[in-house]
Amino acid sequence: MIKVCKFGGTSMADGTTMLRVRDIVRSDAARRFIVVSAPGKRYSGDNKITDLLYETARDVEKTGHVGEAFEKVCARFCSTVRELGLGFPIEEVLSATREEIEQNKSEDFTASRGEYLAARVTAAMLGAAFVDARDTIKFDENGKLDAEKTYSLLKDALLSHDRAVLAGFYGSMPNGEIRTFSRGGSDISGAIAARAVLADVYENWTDVSGFLACDPRIVPSPAGIRTLSYKELRELSYMGANVLHSESIFPVREANIPIHIKNTFRPEDEGTEIVPPEQYRFGGNVVTGIAGKKNFTVIFLEKSLMNSEVGFAYRALACFMKYGVNFEHIPSGIDTMSFVIDGEELKEGVLDRLVEDIRAAVSPDSIRVFDDVALLAVVGHGMTKSVGTSARLFDAIANAGVNVRMIDQGSSELNIIVGVDNGSYERTVRAVYEEFFKHH
């Protein structure tokens, strides 16, 4: 059996947490390949190493030299190596890293050094081989993962060792330049490694015991989710349940490799298993989880006989392409169409220009904009099997005194998305949780 284990930033935070990692890895001979994030915060108010490295990149851009932020990075790694009692030449490695950062003057290169240094130290601690993602994770000319080349290189590099440590978060372009994934991308690196060696399980170790049925900042001590399907995970991650990067499932899904979310600080907890469709067993609860986000904008179009106007939606969508704006959902009726957009995409006058262009392109009878909308996704395979789920959902929301602004049900019937005012979001989450998790 082969397990690929990815350890997040909290697991790498200092020597004490890294010793937990060592014990977890050594407790199971199947845990052969380890992927690590950059060290996270040790305590509230502390800095994440990646944030300090982005600051370092800005210092290098301004002055040509690293500054105080990089000194803090060095101090953290030196302190961790001391705590671990390793004879690892950290000062030498940090000195070489400083030179490379000043030489490269690249934000991606600088940001990637947190994972690089964490992987070097972890490999020394475990007595394992260090595998550099620069040599094994490859992007094409357009910055997209070159999956075929990557899987082949990683498979050869990892399987030639009994135990190896890979740095997460980055790879390299065809010209050798370092490129990073989006923030949280070490989850993707871990999934790529699991796919490359065709692991039996991809373990993702973090600081929570798996997925919870909703945000614990809104509902205290919500129920844990024991098993999720890949599809449910994708919906929940995308809508803000941020235990796992939403793109990290794609590499393992291709090979039907289950993911197991585990807690470094409570390794005895069962965690959450994310399984391929053929391994999924309905657990009995209608709703698996609730997730959501605030600050969406809705552009609402109305036009008589819109449905018989060929190319209507195409012309409207072309306006979004012009400004590089992504939409999240398009609920529609016979004479109406709404575009739901993350408010972040519409700053600096983009919204006004977009609305004008849509007006010119499709001549709607009316066009209205609603700001400050929160979306709440209610997700679960059980919803397709249970009569009256929608009625229960909307009754719960109505009884909480919340006005629904928008409804969108996915064609898979796996989720129902409800739009409410930002100010009603928390109340809505509590009402829906109460209905499906306290009354079942």
User: Span 35-50, mean pLDDT?
Assistant: 95
The tokens for 415 are 């989720």
Question: What confidence category does residue 243 fall into, taking pLDDT thresholds of 50, 70 and 90?
Answer: low
Between the two ends of the chain, the Cα-to-Cα distance in Å is: 38
CA distances from 128 to 120, 123, 161, 163, 204 (A): 10, 5, 8, 5, 19
Residues 273, 259: contact at Cβ < 8 Å? Answer: yes
Got the DSSP string for 256-312? T--EEEEETT-TTS--EEEE-GGG----S-S--EEEEEEEEEEEEEE-TTGGGSTTH
DSSP-assigned letter for residue 211? -
- Percentage of the chain with pLDDT > 70? 96
Q: How many whole angstroms separate alpha carbon 345 and alpha carbon 371?
A: 13
Those residues whose C-beta lies under 8 Å from the C-beta of residue 326, and which sit 6 or more positions away, are: 320, 341, 342, 345
The mean predicted confidence, pLDDT, of the chain is 91
Fold for the domain defined by 289-438:
VC0802-like (3.30.2130)
Q: What is the pLDDT of residue 278?
A: 74
Residues 11, 25: contact at Cβ < 8 Å? Answer: no
Range with the lowest mean pLDDT among 6-15, 80-89, 314-323, 402-411?
A: 402-411
Q: What is the pLDDT of residue 439?
A: 61
The tokens for 349 are 């006058």
Does residue 168 surpass a pLDDT of 80? yes
Those residues whose C-beta lies under 8 Å from the C-beta of residue 260, and which sit 6 or more positions away, are: 201, 202, 203, 204, 271, 272, 273, 274
Q: Which residues of 379-407 are buried (b: 16+ CB within 10 A; e: fewer)?
A: bbbbbeeeeebeebbbebbeebebebbbe
CA distances from 75 to 7, 15, 16, 58, 80 (A): 22, 13, 16, 19, 9
> How much is the CA Rg of the chain, to the nearest whole Å?
24
Residues 53, 111: contact at Cβ < 8 Å? Answer: yes
Q: What is the pLDDT of residue 384?
A: 73
pLDDT tens digits for 180-219?
A: 988 766 788 999 999 999 999 999 999 888 888 998 889 9
Residues 331, 406: contact at Cβ < 8 Å? Answer: yes
Question: What confidence category does residue 386 fall into, taking pLDDT thresholds of 50, 70 and 90?
Answer: confident
Q: What is the pLDDT of residue 241?
A: 62
pLDDT tens digits for 130-165?
A: 999 999 999 999 999 999 999 999 999 999 999 999
Highest-scoring range by mean pLDDT, 321-330, 366-375, 409-418: 366-375
Q: Which residues of 300-316 are buried (b: 16+ CB within 10 A; e: fewer)?
A: bbebeebeeeeebbeeb
CB atoms within 10 A of CB 43: 7
Does residue 276 surpass a pLDDT of 90? no
Q: How many whole angstroms separate alpha carbon 365 and alpha carbon 345?
A: 25
Stretch (H or E) spanning 354 = helix 350-362
Q: What is the pLDDT of residue 382?
A: 78
Does residue 440 surpass a pLDDT of 60? no
Question: How far, in whole angstroms, is CA 408 from its chain's centroid?
Answer: 23
Strands 129-131 and 164-167: parallel
Got the DSSP string for 25-50? HHT-TTEEEEEEPPP--SSTTPPPHH
The CATH number of domain 3-279, selected from 1.10.8.50, 3.40.50.720, 3.40.1190.20, 3.40.1160.10: 3.40.1160.10
Question: What confidence category does residue 412 fall into, taking pLDDT thresholds of 50, 70 and 90?
Answer: low
Query: Pick from 340, 327, 353: which is nearest to 298 by CA?
Result: 340
- Percentage of the chain with pLDDT > 90? 72
pLDDT tens digits for 100-115?
A: 999 999 999 999 999 9
Does residue 357 surpass a pLDDT of 90? yes
**Domain limits, the chain:** 3-279, 289-438
Give the number of residues written for the chain: 440
Residues 167, 118: contact at Cβ < 8 Å? Answer: yes
Query: Pick from 11, 409, 434, 71: which is nearest to 218 by CA?
Result: 434
Q: How many whole angstroms separate alpha carbon 359 and alpha carbon 8?
A: 47
Q: What is the pLDDT of residue 246?
A: 62
User: Span 25-42, mean pLDDT?
Assistant: 97
Question: What confidence category does residue 411 fall into, taking pLDDT thresholds of 50, 70 and 90?
Answer: low
Q: What is the pLDDT of residue 121?
A: 98
Those residues whose C-beta lies under 8 Å from the C-beta of residue 411, and which sit 6 or more positions away, are: none
User: Span 285-301, mean pLDDT?
Assistant: 92
Q: What is the pLDDT of residue 414?
A: 85
The residue assigned the tokens 């800005």 is 58
Does residue 388 surpass a pLDDT of 90? no
Beta bridge partners of 145: 139
Q: What is the pLDDT of residue 385?
A: 73
Question: What confidence category does residue 236 fall into, taking pLDDT thresholds of 50, 70 and 90?
Answer: confident
Strands 259-263 and 129-131: unpaired
